[in-house]
Structure 1
Amino acid sequence: MRSFDYTRASSVDDAIAAHAQTNTVFLAGGTTLLDLMKLDVMRPARVVDIHKLALTQIEVLDDGRVRVGAMVSNTDLARHEAIRTRYPVLSQALLSGASTQLRNKATTAGNVMQRVRCGYFRDGVSPCNKRVPGSGCAAIDGQNRNVHAVLGGSDQCIAAHPSDMCVAMAAIGATVHVQGPNGVARDIDFLEFHRLPGDTPWKEHALNDGEMITHVTLDAPLPHSRSAYLKLRDRASYQFALASSAVIVVLDGSTIRDARIAMGGVGTKPWRAQQAEAVLKGQPATQAVFQQAAAAAMQGARSYGQNGFKIALGQQAIVRNLSTLVA
């Protein structure tokens, strides 16, 4: 690991001021950052430790939304009564990710900012436009079975977004609250926070220089809804999704009155399947309708060889989840 300066922030303003120096990063739980520093993929000149900041509250707001502090651990968020009862899909997604030890350290904001697990990005030597802009993408013609996307990719990058939590939040709907220099705060719609790779895959999110996530506010749950997270992977232990689905449905008898669907493992960002939602609304809760919705969700999907099976697997993740929810 290379040498770097270290400072511990005592407040949000203190953290943002310390971050003003070039090539500075925030350290929260460190479950991704420290790995990438050890691998020499990230080489910050300064690390600003924010894990002691008082951003650990989970609050139910008067309008039914839930406000989650940036430093709430994945374990505390998954186990919180308001999350388990109002957003089962989020609790399930969190508990399906990583290991107990990592969930105890990982934070809400850190999970939102989680970087890709592409081996070519992490090996430090292969062509990778995320790591070295303009160097190419070794994954497109290389090993791309596990952590590479069939939706949202470009000829610059096909790395899949790795988070389970973010898939659930994409289905629920959320707002990311950030604060920047001079106390300037702004809100970012969750679906707009993560960027598609396009021609600039190194720009992974909508944060401006010097900004820090302070909270994430979840939309109020759909009344009378039921929800679940389904994660498909090679083994049930600590592993990233090959395909996953976060599904929220509201039934009126045997008719689907409303639906929210998001997918993981198959997209370069947490993938909201709004075309699938449109197919479901107002339709009977049948296998035929579920299959039509699943096919709509994967419209535009592109196989890069080894990961082509994800097109069918992604559809299965939706159909199986819906079938279980309406049973």
Structure 2
Amino acid sequence: MSESCILDNKQSVLNPTFPFTAIVGQEEMKLALVLNVIDPKIGGVIIMGDRGTGKSTTIRAIVDVLPKIVVVKRDPFNSHPSDIELMSNSVKEAIENNINLNTELINIPMIDLPLGATEDRVCGTIDIEKALIDGIKAFEPGLLAKVNRGILYIDEANLLDDHLVDILLDSAASGWNIVEREGISIKHPARFILVGSGNPEEGELRPQLLDRFGMYAEIRTVKDPNLRVEIVEQRNRFDQNSLKYLQIYEKKQKNLQQTIIQAQRLLKFVTISELLKLKISEICGKLEIDGLRGDIVINRAAKAFCAFEGRKEVNVTDIHKVIILCLRHRLRNDPLKSIDSGVRVQETFDSVLKYNS
């Protein structure tokens, strides 16, 4: 696998993105994104917060610190040349027929989902006329094909049609997109990290949809005047001379990229003790979390954080770092309690694991 820094990417130089490592004051959001990159099976992240807090900037910036991926050349689904789970049917058939496939390295795709997108635009369409007359399954790939093995970003996710959100969450969970029309069915891989953002003042996502996101990050406007000044100055420097600014952060970008690559490789070796698994489930039980998604996501996120730290055994601190992100959106609303969801999770965690940070 080839690693490339931000300056090696011609598109980044022509259309520069604010460097991920230069973003300050939003550590919770950055951590959630990095952990989902290390283990996409965490289930994505929904980022809700005030306007002008850098949600979109941070989400778009993560792409520049990710390693390139190898794909089959001219394949519309970014198929992996050897991993069956990441291949389209045409690539599988070519391999079965011993046809040599050309490959190339590409930047991890990131697709912005427009709010007005139709189901056909998202999922793709089948040309019924060609199928019936010529007997050919002519498929026009949609956004789910283009984003396979990448990141799908929904800005203002709370304003997106619920039906489309359901489709996206189902595809993200299963890793496949199935398009069926008039008895004709097309299936292709659609493995991606789903990232949504929005302002809660404009409406919340339905609870059953919120539960499907692995993590929920809350972003608030920075209050510290010194930090606010630093953020403004950083942005001004970038706007004045983006190329020079990118050069300043080139080493940090590379270092983070290497850390992510190493964490991805280390992840399969990370273990968590039975005692800590029991404690995680005890916390979820005390908080009356519905279902088992909370337990599963905490286990995955704690392992991802452990790998990010370069270790192979999950400890209490790893769980502490991720548990609020994994549970705050799964709590049952109690109108008699005004306590913040993050505080409730923290207090329960402290009582079960006797943790003092």
Confirm or deny a common fold (TM above 0.5): no
Q: Please give the TM-score of this superposition, normalised by the length of structure 2.
A: 0.23
Please, what TM-score do these two structures have when normalized by structure 1? 0.25
More strand by share: 1
Q: Tell me which of the two structures has the higher relative contact order, counting C-alpha pairs closer than 8 angstroms and 6 or more residues apart.
A: 2
Question: Quick check: which one's helix share is greater?
Answer: 2
